[in-house]
Structure 1
Amino acid sequence: MNQQIKSLLERRVQQCVSDTTDTCEKIERKKKSLMERNGEIIKARATGKVIDQIENEDYSNIYYLAHFQYLIKQHKRYYIEEEVEKRKASFYKSSLMADDEVIEKVDLQVPELELLTDDFRDAETRAPYRYDRRKAVQYAERWWNDYNPAYMKFTDDCTNYISQCLRAGGAPMRGFPNRSSGWWYNNNNWSYSWSVAHALNLYLATSKTGLRAVEVQDPRELQLGDVICYDFEGDGRFNHNTIVTGKDAYGYPLVNAHTYNSRMRYWAYEDSSAYTPNIKYKFYTIIDDD
């Protein structure tokens, strides 16, 4: 791909950040959400990285990753939010015809979990542990837009990433080798709860030993390193997870996530293309096993 088209892509991405028309609906949703929280985007930057190109005579489709960075001011506090979005730009003879986000559908079907009970099978996991929130957040920041080669990478990587963060914080694994039991990763094999959003939600809601959590009702009760689960359609099947890595000026969580890689994003996901008015959330605070 020649440098001219690369430059055109980057200019198009930057235009989307500063555009005030409906052509950048996602950015407008973000601005609206910030305005309701007494915040604003002070400065924005975006770059495009080409990942694939398909040519057909005078037509070409360019798939690229758009990396957005926003300097946000809320009261007297400043922080940087980042996100990476996969997009498709369509050209006719080097003229841009369309530029759209690529929405990838994910199969959410997963077998029902047979969660382990507090019996002799889990005796080795009963040793007291304390969840190291600092290490979990450090891991979340290190790998928010990258992939640790020590683990498998999934097309829908959000829960795999959250599980890695929890593990980095010292959360104990249990259940191996039964994939429908417990929460674990071992030699490129893993439990459903390690990699599937709905399964992790079920695990956190019911686990009595090893990695455990308590559901709270107000997101402001969450601490750094805690987990939010998302049911975008409100149909009872949770399809996304994030980890709390910061707080805004009102004490609401800012989160990191994979699949659509992002960091320090406002917890409610109102600017997401997956957001619907029926969205439901679960807020889990990780508890220590003293």
Structure 2
Amino acid sequence: MKRLIQQTVEDRLEYLINGHVMRQPQLISDAEAVDRKKELFARRHVEIVKAKAKAKLLHSTIQDDGTLHVQYLAHLTYVCKDVDDSFYLEEQIEKREAFLYNDMLVKDHMIEVDRQSEEIALVRFQDEEEFGRAFHYDRRAAVQYAETYWNKRNPAYKNFEDNCTNFISQCLKAGNAPTRGYPNRGSGWWVRPHTWSYSWTVAHSLKNYLTTSKAGLRAKMLKEAKELSIGDVICYDFEGDGRYNHTTIVVDHDKSGMPLVNAQTYDSRMRYWSYEDSTAYTPSIRYAFFHILDDASKSS
């Protein structure tokens, strides 16, 4: 069974690299995402020269009709050759489920996350208000945190399934961003052992906070992704309905100067910022680009 699951993720990479017909059926959303990834890399003139896939079995059950239900993690690694012949690694982790009958794969797809969840990881920070102290945003520290924890959870935090904005808040915190607004959950940006602001965990609330904040953690909204620096934040409204539902942090740039980002929930490292290869992507997607400011920054 483990060998069959491993073959499933390897088939997806075979199709991505060489364009071969996949030997096992996939949901259309997965196939379209792979096609979009190929198109995105071709448009950027970036070549995927090698790919690896690892599968980790989470649990399995046998249903009444004899069908084997399996949940597993697929860790995908792409060796990317940029326009100047330099190389970098893009990585993604997907939680997937498969149904097998008589050792034949019947169905396999990525498990969608409930993006309405407002639950959050809660770090055990000191309770005193940090607002008012001098704030210098340490971008490299924020990126280092994003690189350390993109595919694992900090044991100092209680983590939940939909963890994207909580992860970005942790990165900003690691970059020395001050909290403010406690105990009003609808105000400021803060976390305590058993309570938190909505802006700490909810993508739409963090987007609204960064748009309006004039003190402590604050940001300037930019027009284009290429203006972003490492440590800056991108918010995503996949459906284009005005409700933002994902957040990433810029950790590097490709040789064309475009951002590469890290994220959780669907754990990703050095992913191209536009998310056109995501199963959540729609042509109506909207982005909000935020350059983080500090006490040494000019707000205009």
User: One fold, TM greater than 0.5?
Assistant: yes
1:265 to 265, 268, 271: 271
Which residue number in structure 1 is paired with residue 53 of structure 2? 46
1:237 paired with 2:243, answer yes
Q: Secondary structure at the match of 2:271?
A: strand
1:101 paired with 2:110, answer yes
Count matched residues: 275
Using structure 2 for the length normalisation, give the TM-score.
Answer: 0.88
1:8 paired with 2:4, answer yes
Are the counterparts in 1 of residues 114 and 162 from structure 2 also a CA contact under 8 Å?
Answer: no
What is the CA distance between 1:126 and its match in structure 2? Answer: 2.8
What is the CA distance between 1:280 and its match in structure 2? Answer: 0.3
What is the CA distance between 1:102 and its match in structure 2? Answer: 1.7
2:73 to 65, 69, 87: 65
Distance 1:46 1:145 in 2: 15
Paired AA for residue 7 in structure 1: R
Distance 1:211 1:104 in 2: 28
Paired AA for residue 111 in structure 2: V
Which residue number in structure 2 is paired with residue 82 of structure 1? 91
Q: Secondary structure at the match of 1:14?
A: helix
Which residue number in structure 1 is paired with residue 153 of structure 2? 147
Distance 1:106 1:227 in 2: 19
User: Unaligned 5+ residue runs, structure 1?
Assistant: 111-122
Which residue number in structure 1 is paired with residue 255 of structure 2? 249
Post-superposition Cα deviations, 1:79-135, rounded to whole Å, max 9, x if no partner, equal 10000111111111222112212223322789xxxxxxxxxxxx9623321100000
User: Closer, same or farther in 2 for the Cα pair 1:109/1:83, shift >3 Å?
Assistant: closer
Distance 1:129 1:180 in 2: 22
Q: C-alpha root-mean-square deviation of aligned residues, in Å?
A: 1.8
Q: Secondary structure at the match of 2:208?
A: helix
Q: Secondary structure at the match of 1:125?
A: coil
Post-superposition Cα deviations, 1:231-280, rounded to whole Å, max 9, x if no partner, equal 00111110000000010111000000010000100000000000000000
Are the counterparts in 1 of residues 164 and 248 from structure 2 also a CA contact under 8 Å?
Answer: yes
Paired AA for residue 198 in structure 1: H
Are the counterparts in 2 of residues 230 and 240 from structure 1 also a CA contact under 8 Å?
Answer: yes
Using structure 1 for the length normalisation, give the TM-score.
Answer: 0.91
Paired AA for residue 236 in structure 1: G
Which residue number in structure 1 is paired with residue 125 of structure 2? none
